[in-house]
Chains A and B, each alone.
Chain A
């Protein structure tokens, strides 16, 4: 189910980001982006109002820079000065106090503002981003295969013709020398041809059968419809919520765990409508974010405006996407905490997915390949201090230090590391 729409989206987004960054002082904007993500993004967006106002053009709205900076560092203190703009703003946002950031330096705030200015408005991005042609890139990949196929076909035809020519010449030569010509056998009764075709059929058929058999039970790109349209793009991508906030088990246990309803309600008690950019399903239908939040309320047994009784909540029956067979032991904390593997390595760019889709095929070959190539935290993790020999080999150069100690080198591809 790899749709072109998806590829288009990825290309569009990357093009958009690329264009965005290339126009401004990249170094400063990069720092600013990081600062924005860590400090501001939980309440502010650049072009949309969120918990706080949209930040695009913030510098122009404030009467002067000093006031803005003072406000950012300690909004409560600045309010007391009686500044009119600040007090108006405070009242306009239902007296929601802004967090204090006393440690931000002038340069840092400057960098954040530079970053904010560098983010183009959504409408503008569409116009420029469209210029890149995603189909060209996709087509380029299949080109070679086609070329080879055609070449093979041509060569095969040439070989066949040559064989026929050879046979005819032989026949002519035989006739000329006076040998009685052997009755020619038509090629469909020629045993060599039949044998050849049988072998080809067997090889091709066998290849296809075993490939098909291996694919049984695998479900790459599985993207079922969920009881609630939950968008990772909105939560983890746009709003930059840390994965661990919801998937609490990921550092501790086997399962990353799907958050319980009360975790959702931590935020959605107050966030009861969706005003972000439009969301679409894979089939192109528009999603009403607010309605989806209402679905959550139904599970939670929550009526806006009334106090919530968590004991009324019912669990949400999500459709499980990543299914491992029962005889496989997989532990999230082993990979994420001990191995320091990024979520995206296995789950793909989850922060850009609307509804989640299975990114990896979760086959054993896929696991093993990664274990062969990935280095363990050999020097940083105290556990590996017991591998004295490897430490010496690394030091003496016997072991390639750029390749490092892979998971395989410490036994990570052995059967009973995952099957027991």
Chain B
């Protein structure tokens, strides 16, 4: 009847190990610490010992507790600032800036500490959206690895000493090396500094370079810049390996735009069509309507073929029939939607980008989906500039190097040459806030503030400015690097004065400045949409070069960025390390991604063979392979990820960082940047000929996909996923509704299910009934919600060894489902949190009533009442309850009960500095209790109180739960379902046909509705449907 959805290979094969594992909530037998080969009865602590310990600890606790109560102090301010009320959060508009990335945000400041980052709704670019990295950035503020003072040769000095020492040292041929700078005032300061030092220059270097785009745009549009893309205007989107929802250029902005094309109006269903070509499975590829796989060396040929197909010529030079059909299909879609079509390419090859520009020109993208009137400033680095700098450094021409943001000693493919050159530079200054790979080689380190401590501005796109204001007094002896530059160029004003002066005329004095700071964003001189003037002179040569056919080896390599880690900026952030990668669902490592086909030939793992699939999947240790490219080698474990080209492997960059940048980064993964190469003057992040050898070693990878699976003990779970094609949906809109009705037939059908499907009475819900709806069509699986939930709810970081044991604590997880062909399957992401069932099975089994139901429809969890039987977790059909195994957040009063149990990363999270990030409104859970999503009850209570204080009913704008707030695509709707005008009621009444509950037939009456995914492809019914059915039966 239905398509088969599978989360893991074991599930696909219904293998033995899978069926054994889904029967139990927890993987391990008790006791979980110690010798696991023995059964409980043979353990070192038998019953009598247990009773002894019990007796002793009860007595000890009684004695300890009856001692004198500790005297606590209540210390008020000496002089209370007017705008601070203890216990009430203030929100300050500021801007997340990391290298080129710019996202306008609000910082929630509670009692003087920023504790949460939220999107700024006023931003015309990101419109309140955030990403996982933006959400996690608040933790970087409290990073214990931050430099706490300036240093010379690694020794602590004062700023005065640095300034004095540098007064003579800065000079000669000075180079300021930075990552992309978006701040106009900083650019002005740099210009001032350069003017003071004749012969000096500013070099922009991006770790993951967009040089090819900049150069191609210069060649074809005469502008060395990147235009604005408007995915929201595109009816047809073709991406050649550009991961624009995950990591490419401005993913938050693009996600928001992309989602607007995926929102479906039930009455008039239409949506954009997204065709994706890629080599290694990515987040964007997983969201595509149709996806085609190719070798990375074919990218040029595909672009050229697409160009000729768009121009009405035949597709040539593509041997793979599927791929050829895909290109024709893409060309057809683009041509059918001229003026509403867009092609983007992730390749850092100038020829490919020139061809893509030609395609965009041919399909009329200029002025509609591409705006040349507003440029995107978030990437500006040109590789050739940096290559020249490295040459100059090695030639000894550079006398002084000031490094801000850039970290070439780690990210440059030929880091050794950069390091060698650095030794020849007389004066080296780093503004890094941690001793990163480059800073440790610099003589002077003048640490910069974290962005939450800084002043500043950012111009992500022409005319759209976003402001940075400090939200906390600098924690350490750090100084904004702009202040340093001003000082060293002899300017007496500090950066704040400079910034105010820079802006006050433009903003209309103090009032304008105040308003701009309050809003955080301002748009000045809105320029008209421009199509740009295309010059096709270079296209011919580009096509010729792109199709000249590089000699490709047996295997090819793609280096990619992960959503959380990026080019290594997220590596020291434990939240991001523990965020499961959306595609691979792995944490705490990088690895080699291979296809199931390659696994069969190279690793002897046939995933269609239940036993072999189990051996691969159930055991965390994965086979390690050695990859050799450009004479450099790297050994990493292998993960098999469907949707990857059979001859291509993928490795994430950003790992293998120096131990100096934090406990979370220490010893995690390997650095893959050295495998990149330079070709035609730009850095190439793919390699067309690599050698792979199986080493025979194994290395454990902490995968989370195989945790928390749900199935009935009989193994006959009905699908939790509902999906349609757009064609079917148009033809038969009520399909899902009928399917549900059919499922519920035995219990009265859809209408009467609630009352007839149970022996329990139906309770009425006066007042408020909280409800959530998740639109699977717009959810891209990016993981921003997961990190937001961590920050809001003090969710613990557990570290890799604990994730390996299935002990991760995330209250919200994003499940990845495959369906169809194993080599190139369809992917659906499903965020799953506590469903707050009105008839919750967890509540009935709790022996101490620690979990029960509120009159507002919340499945409540009371930690201080929980005794840790874990019955509830076992009885939860969704597997969303988490057991706190080891007091990860250190909330017990017994001092060293974590030592030897949790690893360094977790202990580091308990440092007094790191703990400043904790939300004081949420209990820090101790060991031995179950915890789970609370629907952000602290926010609900706050919003109700706000309404009560103002003596009015609550409205939607009062309340946004953390995951909803973080979502860049507005996939999550939340509110009072009893309120006829609330957004949640609207979503539910306007989408009766797409709406479904997960595992509805269990009659647990979840409070979370999902809207089915609609894929913009042809009908899945007819012939095709029968085939899949047969396949399923065979399997």
Contacts and interface: CB of A to CB of B under 8 A. Distances in A.
B528 interface: no
A248 B88 CA distance: 13
B945 A338 contact: yes
Contact of A383 (B72, B86, B862, B948): B948
A217 interface: yes
**Secondary structure of the B side of the interface?**
loop
Given A257-B86, A387-B767, A416-B860, A224 B76 contact: no
**In this complex, which of A216, A263, A310, A338 has the most chain B Cβ atoms within 10 angstroms of its Cβ?**
A338
B767 A216 contact: no
A314 B951 CA distance: 39
A417 interface: yes
A419 B923 contact: yes
A346 interface: no
Contacts of A253: 85-88
Contact of B76 (A216, A257, A334, A382): A257
Interface string B862-876: 111100000000000
Interface stretch (A124-132, A141-149, A318-326): A318-326
A411 B767 contact: yes
B65 to A, nearest CB: 5
Contacts of B944: 383
Contacts of B768: 386
A187 interface: no
A257 B73 contact: no
B856 A411 contact: yes
**In this complex, which of B87, B856, B924 has the most chain A Cβ atoms within 10 angstroms of its Cβ?**
B87
A386 B767 contact: yes
Contacts of A411: 767, 854-856
A191 interface: no
B951 A383 contact: yes
Given A320-B74, A338-B945, A410-B767, A416 B951 contact: no
A254 B949 CA distance: 13
B62 to A, nearest CB: 7
Interface string B93-108: 0000000000000000
Contacts of B766: 387-390, 410
Contacts of B537: none
A344 interface: no
B812 interface: no
Contacts of B861: 416
A262 interface: yes
Interface in B962-992: 976, 978-979
A258 B927 CA distance: 34
B80 A415 contact: no
Contacts of B319: none
A249 interface: yes
A249 B86 contact: yes
Contacts of A252: 85, 88
B85 A219 contact: no
B764 interface: yes
Contacts of B923: 326-327, 419-420
Contact of A386 (B66, B71, B938, B979): B979
B76 A258 contact: yes
A261 interface: yes
A333 interface: yes
Interface string B948-968: 111111100000000000000
A415 B78 contact: no
Contact of B934 (A381, A410, A420): A420
Nearest to B73: A317
A337 B76 CA distance: 22
A319 B921 contact: no
A299 to B, nearest CB: 8
B922 interface: yes
B62 A213 contact: yes
B497 interface: no
A310 B934 contact: no
A260 B79 contact: yes
Contacts of B86: 249, 253-255, 257
B937 interface: yes
A414 B860 contact: yes
Contacts of A380: 951
Interface residues of A, number: 58
B855 A319 contact: no
A383 B79 contact: no
A419 B863 CA distance: 8
Contact of B953 (A249, A385, A410, A420): A385
Contact of A381 (B79, B951, B978): B951
A316 B75 contact: yes
Contacts of B945: 331, 333-334, 338
B941 interface: yes
A83 B987 CA distance: 78
Given A261-B78, A381-B948, A217 B65 contact: yes
A315 B767 contact: no
A255 B65 CA distance: 27
Nearest to A261: B78
Interface string A219-252: 1000010000000000000000000000011001
Interface in A388-417: 388-390, 410-411, 414-417
A311 interface: yes
**In this complex, which of A263, A390, A415 has the most chain B Cβ atoms within 10 angstroms of its Cβ?**
A415
Interface in B43-86: 62, 65-66, 69, 71-80, 85-86
Contacts of A134: none
Given A389-B764, A419-B863, A260 B949 contact: no
Contacts of A261: 76-79
A323 B864 contact: no
A260 to B, nearest CB: 4
Interface string A336-359: 011000000000000000000000
Nearest to B864: A327
A259 interface: yes
A368 to B, nearest CB: 13
A416 B934 contact: yes
B897 to A, nearest CB: 17
A319 B71 contact: yes
A93 interface: no
Contacts of B864: 325, 327, 419
A40 interface: no
A258 B865 contact: no
B947 interface: yes
Interface string B382-398: 00000000000000000
A235 B611 CA distance: 80
A410 B948 CA distance: 13
Given A216-B65, A259-B80, A416-B858, 6 more contacts: A258-B74, A313-B79, A317-B74, A329-B941, A338-B948, A382-B953
10 contacts: A261-B77, A314-B78, A316-B75, A320-B72, A327-B864, A327-B923, A329-B941, A331-B87, A386-B976, A389-B766
Which 3 residue pairs across A and B have the least CB separation, nearest first? A254-B87, A411-B855, A338-B948
